[in-house]
Chain A
Amino acid sequence: MDFDDDYYSGGEEEDQMLYTDDDTDAEDFDFIDNASDSSELALSNRHHVRNYTVLSESDIRQRQEDDITKISTVLSISKVAASILLRHYNWNVGKIHDEWFADEEKVRSTVGLLENPVMEYKDASEATCGICFDTYPSGEMLDAGCGHPFCSSCWAGYVSIAINDGPGCLLLRCPDPSCCAAVGQDMINLLASGEEKEKYCGYFTRSYIEDNRKTKWCPAPGCDYAVDFCGGRGGGGGYDVTCHCSCSFCWNCTEEAHRPVDCDTVAKWILKNCAESENMNWILANSKPCPKCKRPIEKNQGCMHMTCTPPCKYEFCWLCLGPWTDHGQTTGGFYACNRYEEAKADKEFQEAEQQREIIKNSLERYYHYYERWATNQSSRQKALADLQQMQTVHLEKLSDLQCQPESQLKFITEAWLQIVECRRVLKWTYAYGYYLPEEEKAKREFFEYLQGEAEAALERLHQCAEKELEVYLNVKDPETDFNCFRTKLSGLTSVTKTFFENLVKALENGLSDVNAHAASN
Chain B
Amino acid sequence: MQASRARLFKEFKEVQRERSADPDIQLVCDDSNIFKWTALIKGPSETPYEGGVFQLAFAVPEQYPLQPPQVRFLTKIFHPNVHFKTGEICLDILKNAWSPAWTLQSVCRAIIALMAHPEPDSPLNCDSGNLLRSGDVRGYQSMARMYTRLAAMPKKG
Q: Which residues of A contact B (CB under 8 A)?
A: 130-134, 153-154, 157-158, 161, 175-177
Inter-chain CA distance A133–B100, complex, in Å, is: 11
Please, which residue of chain B has its CB at the minimum distance from the CB of A154? B100
B101 x A130 contact (CB < 8 A): yes
A175 x B100 contact (CB < 8 A): yes
Inter-chain CA distance A133–B7, complex, in Å, is: 7
B129 within 8 A of A: no
Report the minimum CB–CB distance from B1 to chain A (whole Å).
Answer: 12
Closest 3 CB pairs of A and B: A177-B99, A131-B100, A130-B101
B150 within 8 A of A: no
A158 x B66 contact (CB < 8 A): yes
B65 within 8 A of A: yes
Which of A133, A161, A175 interacts with B63 by CB under 8 Å?
A: A161
Q: Looking at chain B's contact residues, is the secondary structure mostly helix, strand, loop, or mixed?
A: loop
Against A, the Cβ 8 Å flags (1 = close, 0 = not) of B1-20 are 00100110011000000000
Inter-chain CA distance A157–B10, complex, in Å, is: 19
Inter-chain CA distance A130–B11, complex, in Å, is: 12
A131 x B101 contact (CB < 8 A): yes
**Among B3, B66, B67, residue most surrounded by chain A Cβ atoms (within 10 Å):** B66
Chain A residues with Cβ below 8 Å from B100 are 130-131, 154, 157-158, 175
Inter-chain CA distance A161–B61, complex, in Å, is: 13
B137 within 8 A of A: no
Q: Which residues of B contact A (CB under 8 A)?
A: 3, 6-7, 10-11, 63, 65-67, 93, 97, 99-102
Chain A residues with Cβ below 8 Å from B6 are 132, 134
Q: Looking at chain A's contact residues, is the secondary structure mostly helix, strand, loop, or mixed?
A: loop
Chain A residues with Cβ below 8 Å from B65 are 131
Please, which residue of chain B has its CB at the minimum distance from the CB of A159? B66
A153 x B99 contact (CB < 8 A): no
Inter-chain CA distance A161–B67, complex, in Å, is: 8
Chain A residues with Cβ below 8 Å from B11 are 133
Report the minimum CB–CB distance from A204 to chain B (whole Å).
Answer: 21
A175 x B67 contact (CB < 8 A): no
Please, which residue of chain B has its CB at the minimum distance from the CB of A165? B96
Inter-chain CA distance A134–B66, complex, in Å, is: 15
Chain B residues with Cβ below 8 Å from A161 are 63, 66-67
Inter-chain CA distance A68–B93, complex, in Å, is: 33
Report the minimum CB–CB distance from A159 to chain B (whole Å).
Answer: 10
- Can you identify 19 A-B contacts, CB atoms within 8 angstroms? A130-B100, A131-B66, A131-B101, A132-B3, A132-B7, A132-B10, A133-B7, A133-B10, A134-B6, A153-B3, A154-B66, A154-B100, A157-B100, A158-B100, A161-B63, A161-B67, A175-B99, A176-B99, A177-B97
Inter-chain CA distance A130–B7, complex, in Å, is: 11
A176 x B67 contact (CB < 8 A): no
B3 x A175 contact (CB < 8 A): no
Inter-chain CA distance A161–B10, complex, in Å, is: 22
Report the minimum CB–CB distance from B25 to chain A (whole Å).
Answer: 18
Report the minimum CB–CB distance from A183 to chain B (whole Å).
Answer: 13
Inter-chain CA distance A157–B63, complex, in Å, is: 9
B7 x A157 contact (CB < 8 A): no
Inter-chain CA distance A397–B3, complex, in Å, is: 71
Which of A130, A157, A177 interacts with B3 by CB under 8 Å?
A: A157
Inter-chain CA distance A157–B65, complex, in Å, is: 10
Report the minimum CB–CB distance from A126 to chain B (whole Å).
Answer: 16
Chain B residues with Cβ below 8 Å from A154 are 3, 66, 100
Please, which residue of chain B has its CB at the minimum distance from the CB of A161? B66
A175 x B101 contact (CB < 8 A): yes
Chain B residues with Cβ below 8 Å from A158 are 66, 100
Please, which residue of chain B has its CB at the minimum distance from the CB of A153? B3
Inter-chain CA distance A154–B100, complex, in Å, is: 9
Chain B residues with Cβ below 8 Å from A134 are 6
Report the minimum CB–CB distance from A133 to chain B (whole Å).
Answer: 5
**Among B6, B10, B99, residue most surrounded by chain A Cβ atoms (within 10 Å):** B99
Inter-chain CA distance A213–B52, complex, in Å, is: 53
Inter-chain CA distance A175–B93, complex, in Å, is: 12
Chain A residues with Cβ below 8 Å from B10 are 132-133
B66 x A177 contact (CB < 8 A): no
19 additional contacts (CB under 8 A) given A153-B3, A176-B99, A177-B101: A130-B100, A130-B101, A131-B7, A131-B65, A131-B66, A131-B101, A132-B3, A133-B7, A133-B10, A133-B11, A134-B6, A154-B3, A157-B66, A157-B100, A158-B66, A161-B66, A175-B99, A175-B100, A177-B99
Chain A residues with Cβ below 8 Å from B3 are 132, 153-154, 157
Please, which residue of chain A has its CB at the minimum distance from the CB of B14? A133
Please, which residue of chain A has its CB at the minimum distance from the CB of B96? A168
Please, which residue of chain A has its CB at the minimum distance from the CB of B110? A177
Inter-chain CA distance A176–B103, complex, in Å, is: 12
